[in-house]
Amino acid sequence: VCRLFTDGLLWALGMKFAIEQINNSSGLLPGVTLGYDMYDTCFEPLVALQPSLLFLSRAGTAGTAGIGLRCDYREYQPRVTSVIGPHKSDLCLLTAKLFSSFLIPQVSYGASSEALSHAELFPSFFRTVPSDRNLVEAVVLLLLHFGWNWIATVASDDEYGRGAQALLLSMASTDNICIAFEGLIPTSPAEPGARQQLENTIKLINSTKVNVVVLFAHSLPAQALLQHSLRMGLGKKVWIGSEAWLLSDVATSTPDIQSVGTVLGFVMSTGTVPGFQEYVAELFSSVTQEEFCQQSRQLSSLGDAEVLGTQCQQCANVTLGDVWPMLGVTAVQPVVVAVYSVAHALHRALGCTSKGCPKTPIRSWQLLHFMNTLPFEVNGQSFRFDQSHGTNTGYKLIFWAWRGGTVTYLPVGHYDQSLYIRKGQIQFHTADKKEPTSECFRRCQPGQFRRIKGFNLCCYDCTDCSENTFWSSTDATSCSPCPRHQWAPARSTRCRDRGERFLSWHEPLALALLTLMGLTATLSCVAALLFLQHLQSPLVQLAGGARSLFALLWLLLQSLSCCLYVGRPGAARCRLQQLSLALCLNGCLSTLLPKALEICLRAELPSCAPRLLPWVTHGRAWLMVAASMATQALLCWCHLHLGPDQLVADYEALPSEVLLVCGTQSWAAFALLHGYNSCLAFICFLCTFMVPSPASRYNVARGITFATLVYFVVWIFFVVVFATLRTVLRAVTQIGTVLATTLGILATYFVPKCYILVFRPELNTGDYCQSPSEQQPEEQRQ
């Protein structure tokens, strides 16, 4: 059932005004009178289809006349030259397919669906309003301006609502705007189940805790949703709408609509139509005259009933007061521009001049070229259809300002490629009149990534990037790891090059160890000088004589080898570290071995001593030392070929530096290299630890026993720590092992003898300095 729709009536009057203005003008179409048929679609597709088929019928026929079947429609002349309207997008999608098949120009003054932008599918469709894509771009910029990134969107279940909502979903995802709820509502509140659907929509919106709702709908479904939100106590929200319902008196007439919250939205930046209000006022004043009514009844009786259709009984009682409140609000300019676009195309197609227009038949398809290419003016303003057959005059941002129960559509900004807002003029529904927050997350700062929480992928917390990761982009849901050669502190936006970490010369710990090394080397030199000075004394001869000097020389070299562990390690230095330690230690232990064997033979095997002692004393003892060192040298060669230590860059041990250490490649080669020295020390220990000695004699065996014990204790700790340590202290451990071993041998074997040489020289005699077993031959002689 058709009912009075104020906006529709004003659009019809705007079209009538524009046609009469053109017919009364001698500048645009002189000598040509435009006629028109006007139909009410009632927003119903079937109602809109009937006049559309009538328009396609052959000129000069009406009513039941059909469309002739032809192979070539270039000379076909339909009933109309062009079509203005309809207003809704879903009706245009239906009618545009028909008119595009016959290339009849169709100009809509309200269909904004993006689907109609395809000029290939609808070559004869034009519109004097922007596409919904422009509207959605403006809405997204508005949301970003206020920081609203947690919203709900509701749309009417028609082409306009579904299309605009789909565009919003697409654009919002690229701008970090999260849609907490998206839903469709019936286009008519009278539909079965419409009430239940509206109530479910309000409940779901309320469950999301959003403060902003974007509504794409026409006036009736928008009114129904707002009415239910008030009845169900949804609470005050920010409602963002469009011209489809924002300027409608249907929405503002909802009871207690002031309590709905803050209403913002975009309407087309249309100009006023000069003389239109006066025209409407004059027209309604003439309706009250009996002469006008008689003329109207006569014209109605002459028309075809099927063409006229059903008359709206309510329209007979419309007064100026019914339409006057909407007269300054309803956008009439797009209707006037639509009419003038066709008139200008006719002007160019006919080749009109100031004198008149040729009486040349014009086919509908001939107008398309002139509508596509050339601009035209309406009331001093220039218009032109773009590639998608639309016009874009921009938008005004409107705020519902309530004063004394009356709404005022207050312009608070505009959008034309960019958004400008006068925030001071917007009074939000909050207590402080400032914009409310509507966010599921706060915008992440540089160095933070989005950690999804819950089941909504758009809802997340901002989490700092951990060490050695960096923030790569605003939309990142995780931090990117740094390359191995770089690092990053927590919450970093870039990676930094790692510094090299090793035991450097200027470190306090290294300086302390080097000082200790110097003291150890000095002690070795002092001991060697004392031994050299008293080389022929009984005590020095008892200790090994020249072999003791040889041992002290290797201990000196061993202490100096600590320098190999300080400074930046290299491949050659890593190879030399273990080799120098093993070879120097072997040089010392090899000199103790003959003395230990000598003591063992004299004390434990006296019967074999005369036959075996020549092999471990005097010159042959040097052969044993040489053989032992040759064996150790062979093991060093094997170590180099089986698996020498190599430079290892450890990126895991330290957070911001790369640890440069000499890593053990083969523990078997390591055991083979140092195992031989352990065997020498063990033999020396076995040969000396049970040898008795009288209190009146110097016990040289005890010094060897304690020296080997120190060696074993130090090396047990060294192997355990060295195998597990992966820091710069690895080099410190090696230096400590070298110095501890050297000092242990010096302290247990050489320092006591140096004490006697310096402080107790009276003990440096042949009687006191004898091997423990040399008493046995004397006792046997007695």
Which tens digit of pLDDT belongs to each residue from 531-545? 888 888 888 888 788
Planar angle of CA 541, 542, 546, nearest 5 degrees: 40
- Tell me whether the omega of the peptide bond preceding residue 186 falls within 30 degrees of 0, making it cis: no
- The 10s digit of each residue's pLDDT in 83-109 is 998 988 889 999 999 898 888 999 999
- The 10s digit of each residue's pLDDT in 23-53 is 998 888 888 889 888 888 888 888 888 888 8
Q: Give the confidence band of 302 by pLDDT, cuts at 50, 70, 90.
A: low
CATH architecture type of domain 6-129+279-383: 3-Layer(aba) Sandwich (3.40)
As a whole number, mean pLDDT of residues 506-522 equals 91
- Amino acid 68: pLDDT: 67
- Amino acid 315: pLDDT: 64
- The 10s digit of each residue's pLDDT in 419-462 is 999 988 888 888 778 888 887 766 677 888 777 665 555 666 77
- Cα torsion at 622, 628, 630, 632 (round to 10°)? -150
Same fold? 6-129+279-383, 133-270+394-425: yes
What H or E segment, with its residue span, contains residue 574? helix 571-604
As a whole number, mean pLDDT of residues 59-81 equals 69
- Amino acid 668: pLDDT: 85
Domain parsing of the chain, residue ranges: 6-129+279-383, 133-270+394-425, 448-499, 508-653+661-781
Token output for 632: 């150790």
Answer whether 6's CB lies under 8 Å from 326's CB. yes
- The 10s digit of each residue's pLDDT in 110-120 is 888 888 888 88
- Amino acid 743: pLDDT: 92
d(CA 742, CA 520): 7
**Bridge-partner residues for 239, per DSSP?**
213, 263
Q: Give the confidence band of 290 by pLDDT, cuts at 50, 70, 90.
A: low
- The 10s digit of each residue's pLDDT in 663-710 is 788 888 888 888 898 999 999 888 888 777 666 677 778 888 889 999
Model confidence at 70: pLDDT above 80: no
Answer whether 119's CB lies under 8 Å from 129's CB. no
Sign of CA dihedral 443, 446, 452, 454: negative
As a whole number, mean pLDDT of residues 302-326 equals 66
- Amino acid 777: pLDDT: 44
- Amino acid 83: pLDDT: 94
| CATH number of the 508-653+661-781 domain | 1.20.1070.10
Model confidence at 216: pLDDT above 60: yes
- Amino acid 778: pLDDT: 43
Taken as a whole, the chain contains a residue count of 782
What's the one-letter identity of residue 596? A
- The 10s digit of each residue's pLDDT in 576-589 is 888 888 999 988 98
pLDDT > 90 fraction of the chain, expressed in percent and rounded: 21
- The 10s digit of each residue's pLDDT in 374-427 is 788 888 888 888 888 888 888 999 999 988 778 888 999 999 888 999 988 888
Answer whether 152's CB lies under 8 Å from 440's CB. no
- The 10s digit of each residue's pLDDT in 720-749 is 887 777 667 778 888 888 999 999 999 988
- Amino acid 525: pLDDT: 93
**Bridge-partner residues for 126, per DSSP?**
107
Q: How far is CA 11 from CA 40, 94, 497, in A?
A: 11, 20, 69
| Per-chain mean pLDDT for the chain | 84
- The 10s digit of each residue's pLDDT in 75-85 is 778 888 999 98
3-state helix/strand/coil string of 480-535: EECCCCEECCCCECCCEECEEECCCCCCHHHHHHHHHHHHHHHHHHHHHHHHHHCC
What's the one-letter identity of residue 83? V
- The 10s digit of each residue's pLDDT in 597-647 is 888 877 777 767 667 777 777 778 888 889 989 998 999 998 888 888 888
Neighbouring CB atoms inside 10 A of 706's CB total 19
Within 8 A by CB and 6+ apart from 98, the residues are 52, 53, 56
Model confidence at 307: pLDDT above 60: no
Answer whether 211's CB lies under 8 Å from 238's CB. yes
d(CA 152, CA 237): 11
Model confidence at 207: pLDDT above 50: yes
Q: Give the confidence band of 319 by pLDDT, cuts at 50, 70, 90.
A: confident
Within 8 A by CB and 6+ apart from 537, the residues are 757, 764, 769
- Amino acid 3: pLDDT: 59
- Amino acid 780: pLDDT: 41
Sign of CA dihedral 271, 277, 279, 280: positive
- Amino acid 106: pLDDT: 94
Q: Give the confidence band of 214 by pLDDT, cuts at 50, 70, 90.
A: very high
Nearest Cα to 487, choosing from 503, 472, 502, 466?
466
- Amino acid 696: pLDDT: 62
| CATH number of the 133-270+394-425 domain | 3.40.50.2300
- Amino acid 776: pLDDT: 46
Answer whether 651's CB lies under 8 Å from 560's CB. no
- Amino acid 421: pLDDT: 92
Q: Give the confidence band of 372 by pLDDT, cuts at 50, 70, 90.
A: confident
Planar angle of CA 436, 440, 445, nearest 5 degrees: 95
What single DSSP character describes residue 748? I
Q: Give the confidence band of 313 by pLDDT, cuts at 50, 70, 90.
A: low
